[in-house]
Amino acid sequence: MMNKIFIILVIIGLPLSVIGSLLHWSAVIMFAIYCLTIIALAGFIGRATESLAIVMGPRIGGLMNATFGNAVELIISIFSLKAGLIGIVLASLTGSVLGNLLLVAGLSFFVGGLKYKRQSFDVYDARHNSGLLIFAVVVAFVIPEVFSASMNETDTMILSIGISIILILLYIAALVFKLVTHRGVYTNNNEDVEKKQEEEVPEWGKIKSIIVLAASTISVAYVSENLVHTFEVVGDTFGWTELFIGVIIVAIVGNAAEHGSAVIMAYKNKMDVAVEIAVGSTLQVAMFVAPVLVLLSLFFTTSMPLVFTWAELISMVTAVLLMIRISVDGDSNWFEGLVLLAAYVIMGIGFYLL
Amino acid sequence: MMNKIFIILVIIGLPLSVIGSLLHWSAVIMFAIYCLTIIALAGFIGRATESLAIVMGPRIGGLMNATFGNAVELIISIFSLKAGLIGIVLASLTGSVLGNLLLVAGLSFFVGGLKYKRQSFDVYDARHNSGLLIFAVVVAFVIPEVFSASMNETDTMILSIGISIILILLYIAALVFKLVTHRGVYTNNNEDVEKKQEEEVPEWGKIKSIIVLAASTISVAYVSENLVHTFEVVGDTFGWTELFIGVIIVAIVGNAAEHGSAVIMAYKNKMDVAVEIAVGSTLQVAMFVAPVLVLLSLFFTTSMPLVFTWAELISMVTAVLLMIRISVDGDSNWFEGLVLLAAYVIMGIGFYLL
Amino acid sequence: MMNKIFIILVIIGLPLSVIGSLLHWSAVIMFAIYCLTIIALAGFIGRATESLAIVMGPRIGGLMNATFGNAVELIISIFSLKAGLIGIVLASLTGSVLGNLLLVAGLSFFVGGLKYKRQSFDVYDARHNSGLLIFAVVVAFVIPEVFSASMNETDTMILSIGISIILILLYIAALVFKLVTHRGVYTNNNEDVEKKQEEEVPEWGKIKSIIVLAASTISVAYVSENLVHTFEVVGDTFGWTELFIGVIIVAIVGNAAEHGSAVIMAYKNKMDVAVEIAVGSTLQVAMFVAPVLVLLSLFFTTSMPLVFTWAELISMVTAVLLMIRISVDGDSNWFEGLVLLAAYVIMGIGFYLL
């Protein structure tokens, strides 16, 4: 049923997105069309990822999903960097971290928890990820903020570049650890779960899944880019500040693909994949997208230091502390989802008023 | 023996409180009388709560105790709000959080630990509560502090109101979660403990317990209110600042009822109740008393934003981080109690000197 | 092989240190000689400690090592205090905390992890230590920083003295807890490990170990003190700031003894000892060396408050949060070591640029 609605939305929304953008229709109308189209495309990404997750195991499936979801963000941010909109880039990085940790994980825990009384996920992965969240957000983002207060611009930029290189190297090391040297070392607890999942029949084959995933992601990227250009008018119309658009709107729309599939996974009780999407995507934003953007910014006219506003930084740090406390036991329920969502709403109100 | 002393103290203290207040005796003498009376009344509240806890189970028993204890605070704070003493209200909220987390839990762990080498309590409850502590104190209290730095007064108040409504809704959701949807879901570990407690014979019956509890609480409220009016003179006499009186004195006296019963429970090795009193009471202050006061303040001449001083906020945040680290393993001993007490003394010295 | 190199280094380095210092050789050359000599002496300390650890059990062995390692620091700091170099003392305290938590533990986890896929250590000790780390660094160091912002110098000093006394008393209480009242209470999990270790044959006897340990430590102290006097010239030569020398150089050289033996222990899969050295040494610096220096400073012309710079404080707090998150599960691998080392490098770059 939902799948049919998504097919219809894409069949109608995608051409309308192209036509409307060429014919310069009203920005507010296009905003709605773009959003619905992306949500529908997210449905396809969800199904394709799920099929691939069954074929390739929950970890690689989740990793791929995070990659495809963040490709969209990376593209949007590069265009923004080119235009010198550093504030928007940092705000949308913040928004991705908050959106993934609080909104995506919160919705997954909440929706999954409405169906299942208790859901569990890999406690080793949760611990591994929590260490990286502390490293990336609490160490690598906080240090330049505090140190730059008594540094000149050049030294701040050198520190930012140094931290960015270390973040990327550690991100690569994390992949080596997970996929090569310690593949399967920390999974004695849920062997049975994995066995069960391996026995499941994927909806689509490997090739079809990859084609759908690629086509959907490219379409999402195309539509997202157009969407960005409607933000100014929509912001003026609805009274949204630049910061609010960066942190909340770009993040929700830019991560819609992941939202969709994470919640679907949670509803199907595949919490390992849902958590991997939410937290894995956060880590990819913090340890890969953010530092890559810092380094890429060196080739543009305005270089971007890894220095957030205090409101952005404290939001991310408190979100990380909350998510770790809630996820580190490898157990979730509707209430824990609600706590994460409530934190997201509080920060949303804050950024709206700022 | 101790019970007899308490009866004598109440029989002497309660009439003296009424007479002394009417005859305008010296504030310093009345201060001592009020304090002793409240401590004695706390003994009755402890015994009544214990009886009720046996009849109704540790969770409801602890919840009731926290409610009765905080009723006193709520009443004092409403009178202070009416007088426009916003600084004192925020300071006494801070003091309640610090007092419950560090002093009550610290004394419980320490006194209980002197008798028992290791004491254990429900690890699921500890995790559940730790998530809420992070949410309430680290997210909901820190965000308005940081964001209000670049906000005007109106927006700060709007943010405070929004956060207050979310806190109250989440507090209600937490009750639904604990008492309705997930009642008994997270308790597989201590079934035997609960069985044993159910087999215990309560000192008083249900009706007698409720009557004693109600009468003692009303008396505590009456005496506490009088006590507040002695603070100015006592402060001048002993050189205590307003902030110190709010954070330390109001909190100790206002929570004496809970202190008493939590420590008694710990001494009887009922750590589930002791921890529920300390942490549950903290959560009730942060998620219910504080936001209710913010909303009530709208009806008075001076409205109160949810913005603490940095000293208050950092004290609460570090107290929460310390308490979580110490309690999350569901195990306590005298040394862990001493660590919490040491943190309380450090903050006490700080607020005394500030 | 390595042992022979160390013997040769000591036989050559120690006389050269004495001669070079008397003949006023070039500071940069002496710097290199001092460093190599200390590293070689650290090898002896490591072997002596290991022998003693086998004889006396991992806890006492680790404790002794931390004591001997910090004696060096205490001596250097007293000389600096006498010279009124408060900034350097606070910086080297910071450096010891960061060095032990991130560099020593990081190297231990990394090097040990290259040989063993997973290494485990006492989870009870890790929890106990994590509570003390939060208490000492997050409570006792953060509170004076935040409160002193609105305090005069006298009150800041009174607060510092109060906190120092509490820290030392709690440090003594921690020893009583660990060695007297709760000796062996929290060790049900690794009885077999301890049995195995007790069956091992120590390289040296108790007497010989103690003599080597004492002689090496005295030599390290002598060489370290000379090393300090080369810092100014070396700093000018290489462009290092005072803060960088205090935080990074003094800490690395001053803790070389512990670095060496911790990493050797990790390589021999004795993670209990390695972690006890890294974290135990941190706790000794924070709860004993730092407060003793505050109290000793009262006898010198310039008294030292327990107030770090924000860069120092935030570095320590984030290092503690990272280390707790990584160590609290009692399990380590090469990647967790790399994360700690990456955090150390980030902070190192920051202090270099500051």
How far apart, in whole angstroms, are the C-alpha atoms of residue C103 and residue C101? 6
Across A181-195, B8-22, B136-150, C40-54, least confident range:
A181-195
Which of B124, B125, B135 best probes binding to A when mutated, by most A CB atoms within 10 angstroms? B135
Nearest chain A residue to C328 by CA: give it: A127
- Partner residue facing A336 (CB), from B131, B140, B142: B131
Q: Could you tell me the pLDDT band of residue A189, with boundaries at 50, 70 and 90? A: low
Residue C257 has pLDDT above 80, yes or no: no
Three-state SS for A120?
Answer: strand
Query: Would you state the pLDDT for residue B163?
Result: 97
Average pLDDT value for residue range C126-147: 94
Contact at CB, A138 and C310, closer than 8 angstroms: no
Q: Is the alpha carbon torsion for A261, A262, A266, A267 positive or negative? A: negative
Please, are residues A129 and A283 in contact by the beta-carbon 8 Å criterion?
Answer: yes
Contact at CB, B334 and C140, closer than 8 angstroms: no
Contact at CB, A335 and B173, closer than 8 angstroms: yes
Taking each helix axis as running N to C, give the angle between helix A105-115 and helix A271-284, from 0 to 180 degrees, rounded to the nearest 10: 170
Most confident by average pLDDT, A113-122, B295-304, C125-134, C316-325 = C316-325
Region class of B239: left (phi > 0), else alpha (psi between -120 and 50), else beta: left
How far B134 CA sits from the closest chain A CA (Å)? 6
Provide the mean pLDDT of chain B: 85
Q: How many CB pairs under 8 A join A and C?
A: 85
Residue B72 has pLDDT above 70, yes or no: no
Question: Phi and psi (nearest 5°) for B204?
Answer: -115, 160
Three-state SS for C49?
Answer: helix
Q: A119-120 and C119-120: which strand pairing?
A: unpaired
How far C339 CA sits from the closest chain A CA (Å)? 7
Q: Could you tell me the pLDDT band of residue C122, with boundaries at 50, 70 and 90? A: confident
How far apart, in whole angstroms, are the C-alpha atoms of residue C62 and residue C280? 8
Question: Phi and psi (nearest 5°) for B119?
Answer: -125, 145
Residue A99 has pLDDT above 60, yes or no: yes
The CA distances from residue B25 to B5, B21, B230, in Å, are 24, 7, 10
Please, are residues A50 and A65 in contact by the beta-carbon 8 Å criterion?
Answer: no
Three-state SS for A331?
Answer: strand
How far apart, in whole angstroms, are the C-alpha atoms of residue A183 and residue B180? 41
Residue A257 has pLDDT above 60, yes or no: yes
Please, are residues C306 and C144 in contact by the beta-carbon 8 Å criterion?
Answer: yes
Query: Would you state the pLDDT for residue A157?
Result: 96
Q: Could you tell me the pLDDT band of residue C141, with boundaries at 50, 70 and 90? A: very high
Using CB atoms within 10 Å of the CB of residue B167, give its burial: 0 to 12 exposed, 13 to 18 middle, 19+ buried. Answer: buried
How far apart, in whole angstroms, are the C-alpha atoms of residue B34 and residue A303? 65
Three-state SS for B120?
Answer: strand
Strand partners, B119: B332
Provide the mean pLDDT of chain A: 85
How many residues in total does chain B contain? 354
Query: Would you state the pLDDT for residue B61?
Result: 65
Cβ neighbours of B326 in C, within 8 Å: 131
Q: How far apart are the first and last CA of chain C?
A: 41
How far apart, in whole angstroms, are the C-alpha atoms of residue C111 and residue C118? 12
Tokens for A324, please give them. Answer: 């770790």
Cβ neighbours of C131 in B, within 8 Å: 322, 325-326, 336, 339
How far apart, in whole angstroms, are the C-alpha atoms of residue C278 and residue C272? 10
Contact at CB, C182 and B311, closer than 8 angstroms: no
Helical residues (DSSP H) of A57-136, grouped into ranges: 58-82, 86-98, 105-115, 123-133
Contact at CB, B131 and A345, closer than 8 angstroms: no
Across A289-293, C275-279, C336-340, least confident range:
C275-279
Contact at CB, A149 and C345, closer than 8 angstroms: no
Q: Measured in whole angstroms, how far is the alpha carbon of residue A336 from the centre of its chain?
A: 19
Three-state SS for C331?
Answer: strand
Residues 6+ apart with CB under 8 A from C239: none
How far apart, in whole angstroms, are the C-alpha atoms of residue A344 and residue A337? 11
Q: How many CB pairs under 8 A join B and C?
A: 85
Across A35-39, A251-255, C269-273, least confident range:
A251-255
Residue A180 has pLDDT above 90, yes or no: no
Residues 6+ apart with CB under 8 A from B112: B119, B263, B266, B267, B269, B271, B274, B332, B334, B337
How far B141 CA sits from the closest chain C CA (Å)? 17
How far A19 CA sits from the closest chain B CA (Å)? 41
Contact at CB, C322 and A138, closer than 8 angstroms: yes
Residue given tokens 């706390």 in the structure block: B42
- Partner residue facing B349 (CB), from C142, C162, C170: C162
Please, are residues C320 and C138 in contact by the beta-carbon 8 Å criterion?
Answer: yes
How far B57 CA sits from the closest chain A CA (Å)? 22
Cβ neighbours of C354 in A, within 8 Å: 147, 150-151, 155
Contact at CB, A339 and B151, closer than 8 angstroms: no
Q: Measured in whole angstroms, how far is the alpha carbon of residue B336 from the centre of its chain?
A: 19
Nearest chain C residue to A138 by CA: give it: C318
Q: Is the alpha carbon torsion for B317, C137, C290, C167 positive or negative? A: positive
DSSP C93-122: HHHHHHIIIIIIHHHHHHHHHHH-S-EE--
pTM of the model: 0.88
Cβ neighbours of C349 in A, within 8 Å: 158-159, 162-163
Helix (H) / strand (E) containing A247: none
Contact at CB, A322 and B159, closer than 8 angstroms: no
Cβ neighbours of B158 in A, within 8 Å: 349, 353
How far apart, in whole angstroms, are the C-alpha atoms of residue C126 and residue C58? 14
DSSP C199-229: HSPPSS-HHHHHHHHHHHHHHHHHHHHHHHH
Quote the strand ranges of B105-203, DSSP E.
119-120
Query: Would you state the pLDDT for residue C337?
Result: 95
How far B293 CA sits from the closest chain A CA (Å)? 18
Query: Would you state the pLDDT for residue B348?
Result: 93
Give residue B232's identity as a one-letter amino acid code.
Answer: E
- CB atoms under 10 Å from CB of C123, counted, come to 17
- The C-alpha R_g of chain A, in whole angstroms, comes to 20
Cβ neighbours of A177 in C, within 8 Å: 333-335
Condensed to tens digits (0 to 9), the pLDDT of residues B212-248 reads 988 988 888 788 778 877 877 888 888 887 788 878 8
Contact at CB, B349 and C139, closer than 8 angstroms: no
Please, are residues A305 and A87 in contact by the beta-carbon 8 Å criterion?
Answer: no
Condensed to tens digits (0 to 9), the pLDDT of residues C163-205 reads 999 999 999 898 888 877 877 777 655 554 455 555 667 888 8
Tokens for A13, please give them. Answer: 């929304």
Q: Which of B302, B324, B261 is nearest to B44 (CA)?
A: B261
Most confident by average pLDDT, B61-75, B256-270, C248-262 = B256-270
Cβ neighbours of C347 in A, within 8 Å: 139, 143
Query: Would you state the pLDDT for residue B188?
Result: 54
Region class of A184: left (phi > 0), else alpha (psi between -120 and 50), else beta: left
Average pLDDT value for residue range A193-211: 73
Residue given tokens 């009866």 in the structure block: B7
Query: Would you state the pLDDT for residue A149?
Result: 92
Domain enclosing residue A250, as ranges: 2-353
Query: Would you state the pLDDT for residue A235?
Result: 84
Contact at CB, B325 and C131, closer than 8 angstroms: yes
Strand partners, A120: A331
Residues 6+ apart with CB under 8 A from A84: A300, A301, A302
Using CB atoms within 10 Å of the CB of residue C8, give its burial: 0 to 12 exposed, 13 to 18 middle, 19+ buried. Answer: exposed
Tokens for B103, please give them. Answer: 């002093």
Query: Would you state the pLDDT for residue C198?
Result: 52
Cβ neighbours of C163 in B, within 8 Å: 346, 349
Query: Would you state the pLDDT for residue A48?
Result: 83
Query: Would you state the pLDDT for residue A347?
Result: 96
How many residues in total does chain C contain? 354
Average pLDDT value for residue range A295-300: 93
Region class of B66: left (phi > 0), else alpha (psi between -120 and 50), else beta: alpha
Condensed to tens digits (0 to 9), the pLDDT of residues B293-342 reads 999 999 998 899 999 999 999 999 999 999 999 998 888 999 999 999 99
Query: Would you state the pLDDT for residue B59?
Result: 66
Give residue B131's identity as a one-letter amino acid code.
Answer: G
Across B83-87, B326-330, C214-218, least confident range:
B83-87
Q: Could you tell me the pLDDT band of residue B198, with boundaries at 50, 70 and 90? A: low
Tokens for B19, please give them. Answer: 């007479």
Count CA atoms closer than 13 A to B63's CA, side-chain side. Answer: 13
Rounded to 5°, the CA angle C294-C295-C298 comes to 95
Rounded to 10 degrees, the C-alpha dihedral B184/B189/B190/B192 comes to 110
Taking each helix axis as running N to C, give the angle between helix C86-98 and helix C271-284, from 0 to 180 degrees, rounded to the nearest 10: 160
- Chains near C with 3+ CB pairs less than 8 A apart are A, B
Question: Phi and psi (nearest 5°) for B120?
Answer: -125, 155
Tokens for A303, please give them. Answer: 């270089």
Residue C138 has pLDDT above 90, yes or no: yes
Q: Could you tell me the pLDDT band of residue C66, with boundaries at 50, 70 and 90? A: low
Q: With pLDDT > 70 as the criterion, what percentage of chain A qualifies?
A: 91
Provide the mean pLDDT of chain C: 85
Query: Would you state the pLDDT for residue B291?
Result: 95
Contact at CB, C173 and B338, closer than 8 angstroms: yes
Contact at CB, A143 and C318, closer than 8 angstroms: yes
Q: Which of A265, A257, A275 is nearest to A324 (CA)?
A: A275
How far apart, in whole angstroms, are the C-alpha atoms of residue C220 and residue C42? 8
**Chain A residues near any Cβ of chain B (below 8 Å):** 117-118, 310-311, 314-315, 318-319, 321-322, 325-326, 329, 333-336, 338-339, 342-343, 345-347, 349-350, 353-354
How far apart, in whole angstroms, are the C-alpha atoms of residue A99 and residue A266? 16
Nearest chain A residue to B153 by CA: give it: A353
Which of C124, C127, C130, C134 best probes binding to B when mutated, by most B CB atoms within 10 angstroms? C134
Please, are residues A39 and A9 in contact by the beta-carbon 8 Å criterion?
Answer: yes
How many domains would you assign to chain B?
A: 1
- Partner residue facing A147 (CB), from C338, C345, C350: C350
- Chains near B with 3+ CB pairs less than 8 A apart are A, C
Please, are residues B249 and B50 in contact by the beta-carbon 8 Å criterion?
Answer: no
Contact at CB, B347 and C143, closer than 8 angstroms: yes
Give residue B129's identity as a one-letter amino acid code.
Answer: N
Condensed to tens digits (0 to 9), the pLDDT of residues B43-69 reads 787 788 778 877 877 567 656 655 665
Residue A109 has pLDDT above 80, yes or no: yes
**Chain C residues near any Cβ of chain B (below 8 Å):** 127, 130-132, 134-135, 138-140, 142-144, 146-147, 149-151, 155, 158-159, 162-163, 166, 169-170, 173-174, 177, 181-182, 185-186, 324
Query: Would you state the pLDDT for residue C310?
Result: 94
Q: Which of C272, C300, C44, C140 is nearest to B342 (CA)?
A: C140
Cβ neighbours of B318 in C, within 8 Å: 134, 138-139, 142-143
Query: Would you state the pLDDT for residue C342?
Result: 97
How far A218 CA sits from the closest chain B CA (Å)? 37
Q: Is the alpha carbon torsion for C47, C48, C49, C52 positive or negative? A: positive
Average pLDDT value for residue range A11-15: 90
